[in-house]
Structure 1
């Protein structure tokens, strides 16, 4: 067998099992010497039709993935079973990422998310799909807004209850809350209510949640556009103010799949707003103080970015061996020896670096670096209207000097 011939078949399986598979999918399974899948999927494959050695996915799956990609790659015919569309949230994504397209063939089934949209009459393209399988629950908070349609892949039978509780506590208890069980199977079931009236019931472990978000009257909807109100962050008073934060994120220019270092993160505002721009944006917050790192953790969960990685320690010492970022923001430690030099060396070519300075000493540093490396040097002066007696007056904030540069 050559590696030019597909040696791996990744087959999507529905609740109807073997009868629901296409002739092509059946043929690929029957020609395989090894058949990997969940215990439920393997049980749907009739012994009289499938002669391959059946291997149930272990928990975690990493050892089986390694077996397929290292021991069996190009050596044996292998088939892997997954629920619905393997390229949505499934093993297909993990397997194909390490292979050439000539090595595999993917046969998808209708995904449970598509089936749920079909049952509810929701346009799939206007529906946000989120997996809660081995992923933090708080990520859904990023998506909450009026009329938002969400499809959530549940981890188990307890997931609907914890999601309903989170929605209610977050001011979305009036949201329409649908729970589907065994979609596409003979025992399919649909339970519909409001999130705040959901009660524990006998729910199958195989379930999916569909939500039409409805905010309570007192709910404050948070935009995904950078510049969240300062008061939504827990802090000790030291945070990048919303107007400066909006300009800073614009200078950092986040793109999907990119990673930010937020050095001297403080409250975590820059890292969190960076991640809220797109769900594929990642960030690492570096903070020396334990109390501020605790605030960052709280804020990341409360604002829907629980995947924010937090490193407690002082830069530049903790910056080694944490990868090469696409963008860096230095909000603290501008005058600390080797912080800028270490960050600049780690930054990818084409990456952006932004530094905000508030002291004369820091401004001098930015001026020197601007002379050496180019980029743009901007003064940001913001005034806010505040009451003075019966009227209002402008109260200026401390001016910010911002240096932004792209690494050649």
Structure 2
């Protein structure tokens, strides 16, 4: 651990040196090297330190920064470097004590102040380097969202996306160069955007409105949210399955026989720190899973095209496993061996052969067996009657 930090991360606002704290000014005066984006460097007066323009893409600048260890280095970042900023991308390569952070007001704080929004009731999103669909689960009438964007052109892109999703009536507040002399705040409707002179840096505030499909909060979301070819764990059974899988923060799921990806996607909706791998042998279905995940805001779903158990060998260790298709003795043996103690397994069977297999494993390993029989009303002549689905046997167990 270094006794004196060699790196100072200075959060810089659009007002340049006028908004810097005394500590930030002192760090810049004593620095031997100042690294930052060209836009940040241009905000500062002439420096005695050697200046280095941070390259694009951002990741290429990290080795360059780390190579300066031993010198007095200042890294310039926007606002609060540790709130959707560049700070953690650098400090994960350092040991505690090697850096000192001197933040300025964040973009989100400045935006909330400009709009009069309570931050604790507002969804915060960094969309400057992420798909717009990341906010799809938060789109419902009355929600407020603050999001950073890549550049001015991205405003038109996200407005078009909102309109496509059925939220074109949303009010979009366009906030440019917050905190500086160029600050500008304008508003429009997503489906009637006419501004073409939007300048970087820019963030937006979205007052969500419209009649697009709202993603419910509880497990067992509507089937029509997921594009599928019929291979989907239907809503009632999915709700029971996810209840048995019991997702917890930070856990990883194996979804074997992904189908439409509905189980893995709902698992990922449970908490932003969850992760999942969906294994699907059919390439078309695997592509459909990727498309569903991207469209529904969980592009972090890892989709593996291949057959189980062979395709399981390179996956991260699971905390929970769901087997929704292709159950076999070989698969169960492989999965059981890969599961650490405390991991949960849920398997659904439709055929008699699979049911017998699960019954044998239940006898050997314990857990719970559940038989699910569902019937839905259907037209029967001029009246209605019950049409039964195939019964499903579910085995759930903790190793």
Aligned to 1:257: 250
Gaps of 5+ in 1: none
Gaps of 5+ in 2: none
Cα distance 1:110–1:313, how it changes in 2: closer, same or farther (>3 A)?
A: same
1:288 equivalenced with 2:281 (yes/no):
yes
Q: Deviations over 1:105-161 (max 9, x none)?
A: 222111111111111111101111112222122222221111111111111221111
> 2:175 is paired with a residue of what secondary structure?
strand
- 8 Å CA contact 1:235–1:295 kept in 2: the answer is yes
Aligned to 2:127: 132
> 1:283 is paired with a residue of what secondary structure?
strand
Aligned to 2:142: 147
1:114 equivalenced with 2:106 (yes/no):
no
User: How do 1:266-285 residues align onto structure 2 when only pairs under 5 Å count?
Assistant: 266-285=259-278
Aligned to 2:53: 56
Q: Deviations over 1:181-209 (max 9, x none)?
A: 11111011112011111125111121111
- 8 Å CA contact 2:137–2:214 kept in 1: the answer is no
Deviates more, 1:274-283 or 1:230-239: 274-283
Aligned to 2:393: 401
> 2:369 is paired with a residue of what secondary structure?
strand
Cα deviation for residue 390 of structure 1 reads 4.6
Cα distance 1:371–1:111, how it changes in 2: closer, same or farther (>3 A)?
A: same
Aligned to 1:156: 151
Q: Deviations over 1:81-127 (max 9, x none)?
A: 11111111111122233444333222211111111111111110111
TM-score normalised by length of structure 2? 0.93
- 8 Å CA contact 2:350–2:393 kept in 1: the answer is yes
- 8 Å CA contact 1:274–1:283 kept in 2: the answer is yes
State the 4+ residue runs in structure 1 displaced beyond 6 angstroms: none
- 8 Å CA contact 2:252–2:316 kept in 1: the answer is no
Cα deviation for residue 230 of structure 1 reads 1.4
TM-score normalised by length of structure 1? 0.91
Q: Deviations over 1:151-173 (max 9, x none)?
A: 11111221111111111111111
Aligned to 1:324: 317
User: How do 1:215-226 residues align onto structure 2 when only pairs under 5 Å count?
Assistant: 215-216=210-211, 219-226=212-219
Aligned to 2:376: 384
Cα distance 1:365–1:120, how it changes in 2: closer, same or farther (>3 A)?
A: same
Q: Provide the C-alpha distance between the structure 2 equivalents of 1:349 and 1:28, rounded to a whole number of angstroms.
A: 51
Cα distance 1:33–1:163, how it changes in 2: closer, same or farther (>3 A)?
A: same
1:85 equivalenced with 2:80 (yes/no):
yes
Cα deviation for residue 405 of structure 1 reads 2.6
Q: What is the aligned residue count?
A: 399
Aligned to 2:8: 9
Cα distance 1:9–1:317, how it changes in 2: closer, same or farther (>3 A)?
A: same
Q: Provide the C-alpha distance between the structure 1 equivalents of 2:319 and 2:49, rounded to a whole number of angstroms.
A: 45
Q: Deviations over 1:221-265 (max 9, x none)?
A: 221321111122221112100011111112222233333221110
Aligned to 1:42: 41
- 8 Å CA contact 1:179–1:209 kept in 2: the answer is yes
> 1:322 is paired with a residue of what secondary structure?
coil
Cα deviation for residue 180 of structure 1 reads 0.8
Aligned to 2:238: 245
Could you say what the CA RMSD is over the residues aligned between the two structures, in angstroms?
Answer: 2.1
- 8 Å CA contact 1:142–1:305 kept in 2: the answer is no
Out of 336, 341, 344, the position equivalent to 2:336 is 344
1:183 equivalenced with 2:175 (yes/no):
no
